[in-house]
Structure 1
């Protein structure tokens, strides 16, 4: 099976305490590598410049990408991470992503900062059996110093099967706070993945299914949401079971955080994800919504 990911590869400057790390990143990489661990073929629809040094590793992992070279430098972020909180600055943006027809079983659309236009989004929606959206890149705005904030934005969410959002993103999509906003989105979308730090919920078939990640010392959280979402999509495509998909997604997020690694080094092996998933599957809580 194949997953296509529409998103920029990025270069991330990650500040944790007094240490600064420069790492390749972006949902294209995190989602792509996580999907490969799940046994999927991966096609990236992305853009990066000649300053991006990770393309050989993508090829070595049998991740396909086409028409990626850009004359502009790669999209670059600066992140300051403090436990589960982070502050983000955009330092450069690469070329926008053009529409590309794909024969993938599933599509994951996860822009980081305005690289997917609304027109391209509309065209992608009908190109796969399962279409997932992480809307963060449609909601982000940059201040004069590049600091990233969110802005209330109306998106056409028709023909989206899976939506992954946190409380801030839900509020900027609906105008409602937290779980009430997630419930409203669930009236339009079959699968709502709602992540609030350690608390993770799936809204599916008018029920809210919930798991809680273990309390642990957090080191680098960059990309964990991407790993979570890609694992959910791959499991759903393979197993057609939303509860297994939630369990695997939570298991992958936990394994990534427990690794204490920085950047792409935190992509968990499938064995670690599967062990955690078996635990979560047996403790899922649910209620009607």
Structure 2
């Protein structure tokens, strides 16, 4: 039994930011950040992913040190690992796909795996709609970050946002996490509050729309709340903050179903991620919960 199974490509990221010179190389992808953030809060986590023969052994060791179950991470010797060039400038992010690993497939052992939560978060449509539906047939809580379903890549790998091709996959999703830009692509609303209302009207139980360094909106039960961010001294690298948010959220939410507190824990975990490269600045449970308590004091009901 695992608490959370995260599905999507583990990546290698090359990151450029005004906070440092040149490019920094880091292990990335939703399974990395979401799983480590949840494991940090004592959840049992596993990933379903594929990497290439070029995937650094040191990254496997890092994931193992964080107690991430890698038994369902397949290393394809003749393939490339999914890689992104991520450039931050003038408050914007440019995302470019360099290499793409093989698509993720469903195996019988995965279908038999007992899990409380399945979190699907593709980065480049590596989880097909058919695979998504098969993975979600079991009785576990279904969480989706549709980022990879909303991306189009030009001939140079440059990412732009597009509409979701098959909105029927939202049926049965209990937790949906998305950024404000992606929420706009999903719903057509630039206003994230309207996007939250639209997505909850489609039957999603809990909708989280992250707002970068400003915080997040969370909608459930006909109500929407603003979850503030924890203000850090310096944002070094925001890569993976949203994935850490949802990983920590799910870790708490599956315990007691308190969506507001879980979102505060998610925001706290994300605040540690942005203070360094990768997961280098992530602290233990006590420090995360201390920040979450501070964040909870600033929660505001919006509607």
TM-score by structure 1 length? 0.94
Offset at residue 211 of structure 1 (A): 2.2
CA separation in 2, counterparts of 1:252 and 1:4?
19
Number of residue pairs aligned between Structure 1 and Structure 2 = 286
* Alignment equivalent of 1:245, drawn from 249, 262, 270: 262
> Counterpart of 1:282?
297
CA separation in 1, counterparts of 2:35 and 2:259?
21
Aligned-residue CA RMSD (Å): 1.6
CA separation in 1, counterparts of 2:240 and 2:179?
14
CA separation in 2, counterparts of 1:84 and 1:254?
17
Contact 1:24 1:264 in 2 (8 A): no
> Structure 1 residues 219, 272: closer, same or farther in 2, change over 3 A?
same
Contact 1:109 1:133 in 2 (8 A): yes
> Counterpart of 2:239?
222
CA separation in 2, counterparts of 1:214 and 1:56?
30
> Structure 1 residues 78, 59: closer, same or farther in 2, change over 3 A?
same
* Alignment equivalent of 2:223, drawn from 207, 232, 240: 207
> Counterpart of 2:282?
267
> Structure 1 residues 61, 287: closer, same or farther in 2, change over 3 A?
closer
Correspondence 1:194 to 2:209: yes
* Alignment equivalent of 1:25, drawn from 5, 14, 28: 28
Task: List per-residue Cα deviations over 1:67-121 (Å, max 9, x = no partner).
Answer: 5111211000000023753110000100100123131111111111111000011
Secondary structure of the 1:231 match is helix
* Alignment equivalent of 2:79, drawn from 72, 75, 87: 72
Contact 1:255 1:276 in 2 (8 A): no
Alignment of structure 1 residues 73-112 onto 2, 5 Å: 73-82=80-89, 84-99=91-106, 100-101=110-111, 102-112=113-123
Correspondence 1:182 to 2:196: yes
Correspondence 1:52 to 2:55: yes
Offset at residue 128 of structure 1 (A): 4.2
Contact 1:83 1:218 in 2 (8 A): no
Contact 2:230 2:268 in 1 (8 A): no
* Structure 1 range deviating more: 161-170 or 82-91: 82-91
Secondary structure of the 2:217 match is strand
Offset at residue 127 of structure 1 (A): 2.4
Structure 1 unmatched runs, 5+: none
Offset at residue 14 of structure 1 (A): 0.5
> Counterpart of 1:166?
179
Offset at residue 126 of structure 1 (A): 2.8
TM-score by structure 2 length? 0.89
> Structure 1 residues 266, 150: closer, same or farther in 2, change over 3 A?
farther
CA separation in 2, counterparts of 1:249 and 1:67?
25
> Counterpart of 1:139?
150
CA separation in 1, counterparts of 2:84 and 2:252?
30
Secondary structure of the 1:201 match is strand
Secondary structure of the 1:46 match is strand
Offset at residue 232 of structure 1 (A): 0.6
